[in-house]
Amino acid sequence: MDDIFGIPAPLLFGQLLLGLINGAFYAMMSLGLAVIFGLLNIINFTHGAQFMMGAFAAWMLLEWAGLNYWWALILVPIIIGFTGVVMERLMISRLYKLDHLYGLLLTFGLGLIIEGVFRNQFGSSGLPYRIPAELQGAWDLGFMFLPIYRGWVVIAALILCLTTWLLIEKTRLGAYLRAATENAPLVQAFGVNVPRMVTLTYGFGVALAAIGGVLAAPIYSVNPQMGTNLIIVVFAVVVIGGMGSILGSIITGFGLGIVEGLTKVFYPEASATVIFVIMAIVLLARPAGLFGRA
């Protein structure tokens, strides 16, 4: 059996693939954050809670309405996205003229409240959610068993990321959005309803978090704290990629997943720290992030 750096090759390939899968989650989550920050200038600390709400909404649809995973994939982003729209209209929209810090505090507080409410309602130990029957089982790749569901997560994440990137970079709507970020009064003068566009953008970012939640529900414990652990890593991903950079957050998300996977092979104790070490180095060398504009 071939060894690479003293690690059996199959184990190494397996870990690389797993890193890519985790990276898919990082990419999806940081994408939503980047969209929101890029266009609204709001650091959305509620993102973890919205990810969690996505997973819970999938569970509720299954338990209370009998709607399966595929329905959840369509309905949950719409429902949770709508709660985002309401939140933006009622609260966040009042803060655009103030310092970043106010938006951060508001969204952080909202995140804590939402988590608290879910914990009171559903307890802290989590709810069961199974992998849909169509995606159960595993492929034997020779060097490892790849669960079909994990493969699906990577494909779904790639499709979502590319669609979002195309939407913002290559369509007329995206051009309006980017123009509104640069100079909102001017775009408004051309007859574009900028406040509505901003509201919908926030809703879209939240919907991305919610889809992440639905995808995560069958493989992670569905509990009120599930977003909290992920969100810290995801913020590091956004900072490394460059705040507000769509492509940056996608590439960094997948890349850091792989780096983290490799760390788990060579020195597991450091696997949670490695991303922050990279973040510190990137901040020192390129304060705007790898893909950000200073």
- Given the rule CB under 8 A, which residues bind another protein? 8, 11, 14-15, 18-19, 21-22, 116, 119-120, 123-128, 130-131, 138, 144-145, 147, 149-150, 218-221, 223, 225-226, 229-230, 232-233, 261, 264-265, 268-273
Please state, in angstroms and rounded to a whole number, the distance separating the CA atoms of residues 198 and 105.
20
Please state, in angstroms and rounded to a whole number, the distance separating the CA atoms of residues 58 and 80.
11
CB of 93 to another protein, least distance (A): 31
CB of 133 to another protein, least distance (A): 11
Please state, in angstroms and rounded to a whole number, the distance separating the CA atoms of residues 250 and 160.
10
Please state, in angstroms and rounded to a whole number, the distance separating the CA atoms of residues 126 and 242.
34
Nearer to another protein, 265 or 279 (CB): 265
Is 255 strand, coil or helix?
helix
Nearer to another protein, 126 or 174 (CB): 126
For residue 143, how many other CB atoms are within 10 A of its CB? 15
CB of 248 to another protein, least distance (A): 23
**Amino acid in the structure at residue 191:** G
Nearer to another protein, 13 or 71 (CB): 13
Please state, in angstroms and rounded to a whole number, the distance separating the CA atoms of residues 19 and 93.
37
Nearer to another protein, 236 or 246 (CB): 236
Nearer to another protein, 6 or 185 (CB): 6
Radius of gyration of the chain (CA): 19
Is 52 strand, coil or helix?
helix
Question: Under 8 Å CB-to-CB from 177, ≥6 apart: which residues?
Answer: 39, 168, 197, 201
Please state, in angstroms and rounded to a whole number, the distance separating the CA atoms of residues 94 and 223.
31
Could you tell me the two tokens for 274? 């490695």
CB of 11 to another protein, least distance (A): 6
CB of 138 to another protein, least distance (A): 5
Task: Identify whether the C-beta of residue 168 lies closer than 8 Å to the C-beta of residue 174.
Answer: yes
Nearer to another protein, 82 or 145 (CB): 145
Nearer to another protein, 183 or 273 (CB): 273
CB of 81 to another protein, least distance (A): 24
CB of 8 to another protein, least distance (A): 7
Could you tell me the two tokens for 235? 């913020």
Task: Identify whether the C-beta of residue 12 lies closer than 8 Å to the C-beta of residue 18.
Answer: no
Nearer to another protein, 47 or 244 (CB): 47
Is 45 strand, coil or helix?
coil
CB of 263 to another protein, least distance (A): 9
